[in-house]
Every structure is written in structure tokens, then in C-alpha cells.
Amino acid sequence: MLDKSSKSPGSGVMDLKQPDLYINRELSHLEFTWRVLLQSEDDSIPLLERLRFLCIASTILDEFFEIRVAGFKQKVDVGSSQSGPDNLSPADVLKTIHARAKMLVKRQYQILNEVVLPRLAEHNIRAIRRSDWTEKQEAWLRKFFHDELLPILSPLGLDPAHPFPRMLNKSLNFIVSLTGKDAFGRNSGLAVVQVPRALPRIIRLPEEETGAGPYDFVFLSSIIHAYADDLFHGMSVTGCYQFRVTRNSDLFVDEEEVDDLLRAVEGELFSRHYGDTVRLEIADNCPDDLVEFLLEQFGLTRDDLYQVDGPVNLHRLIDIVDTVDRPDLKFPSFTPSRPAQLIAGVDMFESIRKGDILLHHPFESFAPVIEFVRQAASDPNVLSIKQTLYRTGADSAIVDSLVTAARGGKEVTVVIELRARFDEEANVKLANRLQEAGAHVVYGIVGYKTHAKMLLVVRREGRRLNNYVHLSTGNYHSRTARLYTDYGMFTCDKAIGEDVHSVFQQLTSLGKVVKLNRLLQSPFTLHKSLLQMIQREADNATAGKAARIIIKVNALIEPQLIQALYAASRAGVDIDLVVRGICSLRPGLIGVSDRIRVRSVIGRFLEHTRIYYFENDGTPEIYCSSADWMERNMYRRVEIAYPILDASLRKRVYKDLQHYLKDNLQAWVLNTDGSYERLGVKGRAHPFSAQQTLLETLAERS
């Protein structure tokens, strides 16, 4: 591995494609999961929020196995030697993933059992083990088992007439060993109990009937373990062990071979539950012979085995966070502010005509975006509404307004990305609902996901038709707008309006690419423009002019952009990168990236804004975007980057960036070797949190 001193300084010719200049994408992804997990050990974070971080880390790891690990296993199975910029083979990547992931899983359960659960118990929030059940609790739980679980559970004995069943992806199951003979005189052996997803994984004990505390819980798995004998009348259970299997969940739709993308996606959704197996999680006390039996059934090896000391699906523990009403153990609540020009009831169109308006969610309310669509739907002067939808949530006020507008006779066009990962089913339902209301629904361009976040309202004003636009770095989803940091901008700038109209024409009709005035768009101009702006900074630095780059994205792995940043660093450009998740660039390499600093901010809100800042010799250019710096965003998606044209808004965004570069409480610094080091230190003389500062600043402004 390359270290900080292994390259000599200088601006001579250097091969910036060397594999040791790049951090492996998958290992960087696991490092992000570690950073999220370690939030659950942070004493400065409220206790129930620490449990939430533990659950979030589990979810991230699940999706990593369902998509990324599954993809690498497929490559290994077909003998592929294809590698990324780091030149690691798929087999080498898988081997390293498993070693690192097993360490991570072990740490997860250590934190759960040794830190989080004991601390919760100190606050009378208890997960009660079977060995600690009182007589009253045992009696109530036995009745609960017989009344609520026994009628639903269907144990399956395994023999030649009852082969091993298909297991749903990530479902809770039990492998059970038995002795004795069944009703037909057959010798017992093994059985499987599959637990329906509809059943809660956490059972709250009633206080009056059990003498329990207000927040005493029992894991569903503990109840099934305790009364497994009752599932096999007349036989004896000698062992009962929970397990779950993770499957490949990436949908495959050959868009060039299907006539109806909506129907094709619907058809593939069912197969997601039964894709190829990639991981087996099982109780750590399960005997080896049963472990080997399950591995054989699923076609897995010991590398794919994860033995755990606790519930096999930690994500379901989030029910405790949602159930327990203890504000003192959660982040303080807050009310997002509204800019003065967007107070409730104001005429949105009049406000936007006065100047561009920037919202920073969740510090500022998402309600004005909902209000904008609502006013457009009811305004008789509005002729047309066009919008892209990637993720919206089950109950969307924006979709309600689009339906109202379509039923009211307005021209409503919605570009829905059916293949928004893990939201496919919701988007299919959304498409059907909008079509039934009379909206024009399209699914973008074959071979390209529509990831741009755009909303265009065409309004008749006198003898003119004016365009009103909302552009965003995040989805039109009211719930995630309270959890993710995103920028959204309202504008009626003529050039931007024309650009957005042109992009919608591309997405809904046939025609050649039109040159855009202000917007950068992938897969056409975004990547090329970014390379040019990076080169401009390098040229300015070489000429002794002001040069600086600040990039804030969720991921940075696209090789050409990384090479351009390396070259800019060698030319003398100071570069700050705020990369929440995956980063393949190695900072701090002398003569290569010694002017590049990389940090990741993990806090209360999920950092989601994408901001590109270029100093441009004292005339800064700032773009906000839906696009991360990944190959898929540059080449295989429709993305938009929009400029911040208003000088006061540029200053505001720049100041926000400075907050993230100043953060010394929630920031992690990327080292040259790919590891991360947290800056937060107790008792720091001048502690600073970007997210907390933004909360306080925007609250003061409101």
C-alpha cells in the first residue's frame, strides 16, 4: 500500500492510474458502515438515538450484501477477472469484505449487549431475557404464544416428502432438532419454523398483567425459543436456533427486450424475495452440524457465515426507539423554519418572481415545496405541471396535488423512476394512481435512471407564459426531508426555465440533445464540464491566480474525476472534499494529493447535499446537484447540476460549506491508508458542529 512519502513531489509526468492510488470502493463502503455504527458508542448522543444508529448500520450492511456482495459473487461464479481502479480481483475483494464485515458484525453485537442494552436498562427500558421472566410474565407470554403465534406459525418437518423450503430474503427462521416419533410413527429429525414478517419482533409486556415496567420488552425470538415444544406435540425439542438468509436483491430488467417497463418491473419484484443466497446469519450457539446443514442447503461456504449473539435482524430493534416515549433520551425536537418570503399563505409565484429562494432541509421546512405544488394545482392560470419523482413515500401530499391538477384538466406530466432501488413497488403503485387520474406518466429513457430532481410549472401571466422551477439535491419526499440534508431552489430565471423544459422534452419525447443555457446534465455535459472546471482551477494555480475546490458529495469513485483532482493538487490547488460515504481517492500522498483533504460528517441528519465549489480566480461558481461523483451518475443516469446565480445565496452556500470544514465534533478525517479518524474530542476548547450550528442559525433567522 502506498504511504504518504512513497511519491516524490513535483509536477512532472506521473501515471495517475496506478492502482495503489485508489481505495477499494467496497472497503470504503464498509468503513462508512463502521462510522455509522460507532455513533452508537458516542456518549454525547442521546441513548435511544444510539440504538437508532445501531439499527441504521444494520440496514446499511444488509443492503451492501444484497447488492454489492451479491454482484461480486456473481462475478466470481462466472470466472470474471474484471477489476476496478484499485486492480483487486473480485475474489480478492470478496475475501477482504468477509474478513472486515465479520469484525463489524462482532462489534455490532458487542455494542448491543455490552453498551446499549445495559444503558437502556439503567433507564428502565429493558429487553428481558427468558432466564429473568417472572411467573406472571411467563404465564402471560405462554398465553400470548398460544393465542397470537401458534395459530400462525407452520413448522415444517424435513424428510423426503417435505424438502427444505424456500426462505424469503431476510426473513426470521428457526432450525429445530427433535427427538421422539410423530403421529405417523416416523422418527424425528429436523424441522424449520418460518416466522411471518407481519409479526412484531419486539413484544411490549403489559404492566398491569405482568408486573412489568412501562418499557419492558421481550424479543419474539425468545418467545418462540421458550415454547418451541408446543409446536411439535408429543415430541421433544433438543435445539432451536434462529437464522436468516440474505439474497441478491438487485432487479434485472432487460429494457431493450420488454414492451412495457411497468409490467416488467412488477414481474421482477416477486423474484427479489428469492434471489441467489449471499449470506447466512445464525445464532452463535448453533451446533456445527446444523450450521453445515444450512450452509449446504443454501449453497454457501463458511466465508458467508455470520454467527451472532442476539437477534439476527438488528434493524427491527428500531421498534423500541419508535415506541418508547422518552424525549430525554432522544434528540431535542425542533420546528423547521421558513424564509420570510415563504410564510404560510403567501402567493408562491409572487415570492419567486422577486428573486431566487434557497431552502436548506431539514433546518428549513419542506412545506413550501408542498405548498408550491398545491397552489399550482388550484391556480386557474397554471396550464402545466411537470415533475420527476424518484422516491416520494406512501402518503405524499405532492402526489395528491398532482392528482388534483390532472383531474382538474391541467396538463400534468410525471417522470417516475420505476427502478429506484427498494422503492420499485411503491413507484409502480404511484404510476398507476397518476395514470388513473389522467396524468401523463413516463419512465424516462431506456438504459438510464432518471435521478434528476426537477419541478416545472408553466403559468399564463398576461400575454406571456412564464416558467417557475424548483430544483433539488434530494427527493420529493416529506419524511426524508426531515431526516436528510438537502438544498432546494425556487427560481423563475428564464434561462433555467428553458433548460428544465428542454430536459423534460428529452425525457418524454424523441429528439436530439439540446444545448442547455445554465444547467449541466448527465450523461451529456456534466462530467465534461466538471473536468473542465477542475482543469481551470489547475491552470489558475499554475498562473498564480486564486484557485480552490470544495466538493461535498455522498460518494467519490469516478476515476477520471479523481485523476483530475490529483492533477489539480499537483498544480497547487487546495482541495477540500466532504464525502459522506464511499471515497476511492487517497488524500495526503506527497506529490500526488498532498493538497487534498477528505472528511466525512456523520451526525443527527444524513448528509445528502451535493455541492460543487470552484474559486475561479475570485469569481466563484457554485453548483448544487442530484449527482454524486460516481460512474453511474455521470454516464448511466439523467442528472442535473444547477448554478447558484444570486450572489447572496452563493455566500450563504459557501458559509455552509465552511461550517462542514470547521466541524470538529461529527467529522471523520480520511487517512492515506483508507482508515478514518474521528476529530471529536471531549473537552475540546472550541467544539463546533455544522449541523447544530445550522439548526441554531436558521432558527434564529426565522
Distance, in Å, from the CA atom of 338 to the CA atom of 307, rounded to the nearest integer, reads 49
Those residues whose C-beta lies under 8 Å from the C-beta of residue 389, and which sit 6 or more positions away, are 399, 414, 415, 416, 417, 427, 430, 475, 476
Distance, in Å, from the CA atom of 316 to the CA atom of 554, rounded to the nearest integer, reads 26
Those residues whose C-beta lies under 8 Å from the C-beta of residue 627, and which sit 6 or more positions away, are 451, 522, 526, 610, 633, 634, 637, 639, 640, 641
Question: 326: how many CB neighbours lie within 10 A of its CB?
Answer: 16
Residue 451 annotated to the active site: yes
The pair phi, psi for residue 23, each rounded to 5°, is -90, 135
Strands 215-219 and 125-127 come out as: parallel
Cα–Cα nearest to 342, from 327, 364, 319: 364
Distance, in Å, from the CA atom of 362 to the CA atom of 45, rounded to the nearest integer, reads 19
Name the CA radius of gyration of the chain, rounded: 27
Those residues whose C-beta lies under 8 Å from the C-beta of residue 350, and which sit 6 or more positions away, are none
User: 8 is written with which cell numbers?
Assistant: 516524490
Residue found by looking up cell 420570510 in the block: 340
Distance, in Å, from the CA atom of 665 to the CA atom of 681, rounded to the nearest integer, reads 7
Cα–Cα nearest to 164, from 62, 312, 295: 295
How many CA atoms does the CB half-sphere of 303 hold within 13 Å?
16
Residue 209 one-letter amino acid: E
User: 244 is written with which cell numbers?
Assistant: 436468516
* Among 360, 361, 451, 477, the one annotated catalytic: 451
Q: Which long-range contacts (CB under 8 A, 24 or more apart) does 422-428 make?
A: 422/63, 422/249, 423/390, 423/391, 424/251, 424/265, 424/268, 424/269, 425/269, 426/391, 426/392, 426/393, 426/394, 427/389, 427/391, 427/392, 428/262, 428/265, 428/266, 428/269
Contact indicator for 60, 32 with CB cutoff of 8 Å: yes
Distance, in Å, from the CA atom of 66 to the CA atom of 250, rounded to the nearest integer, reads 7
User: 247 is written with which cell numbers?
Assistant: 439474497
- Burial level of 648, CB count in 10 A (0-12/13-18/19+)? exposed
- Secondary structure (DSSP) of 362-414: TTB-SHHHHHHHHHHHH-TTEEEEEEEES---SS-HHHHHHHHHHHTT-EEEE
Active site residues: 451
